[in-house]
Chain A
């Protein structure tokens, strides 16, 4: 199975900050890497697919990059609605696996 390791597991930030979350795969996955945002009590929502493509309707302050084994999600100017948990997921091979999540909290 491909292990997905996210870091950090949590972070505290202020509105307006720039935030970067990383996701590392235990083996190469090309660009079969997607990012989701989840708020408490809600289903996840896709932000980015295939490593760097922004899902329709997602604000441009979100961006992502990477290929192979190392990936990043960046929020350039953190907004109040961005406080949530972020997960990466690989769909290169089954079982499709998620990272452990990064909880972005208000400082």
Chain B
């Protein structure tokens, strides 16, 4: 059974960095793309990018290029999202999600979400 378990809520000050983890289980980690999606309070879903866990190749939405870093550790089936230079409008729930075997497949499993609050 596929499970994605994310790290706990974070509270950060503006300008700080945060790293969110997502541990996968129940399938071969390197076989499926990983996506990160965020949702600001009361807002819709915003796709941030994907990582190919096998190769480590990433594809970020242009909005996030330069201050987001997606990585993975295949030895522990865990994906990471690092956000740098946080601003108050980065306050959101961040979801990891398993895509398909291709980058254009839909997401079929989601983590529970990690609330990142940015406030002075």
Contact = CB atoms under 8 A, between A and B. Distances in A.
A46 interface: yes
On chain B, which size bracket covers the interface? 20 to 34
Interface of B: 35, 44-47, 50, 59, 61-63, 95, 97, 103-108, 110-113
A87 B106 CA distance: 13
A94 B105 contact: no
Given A95-B62, A101-B44, A44 B110 contact: yes
Contacts of B111: 43
B20 to A, nearest CB: 14
Interface residues of A, number: 23
A94 B44 CA distance: 18
B44 to A, nearest CB: 5
Contact of A95 (B47, B104, B107): B47
Interface of A: 32, 34, 36, 38, 43-46, 49-50, 55, 87, 89, 91-92, 94-101
Query: Chain B binding site: helix, strand, loop or mixed by DSSP?
Result: loop
Query: Chain A binding site: helix, strand, loop or mixed by DSSP?
Result: loop
Contact of B107 (A32, A38, A46): A46
Contact of A91 (B61, B63, B95, B106): B106
A97 B95 CA distance: 15
Contacts of A38: 45
Chain B CB within 10 A, most for which of A46, A50, A55? A46
B114 to A, nearest CB: 11
Nearest to A85: B44
A87 B44 contact: yes
Contact of A44 (B45, B50, B104): B45
B95 A95 contact: no
Contacts of B106: 34, 46, 49-50, 89, 91
A101 to B, nearest CB: 5
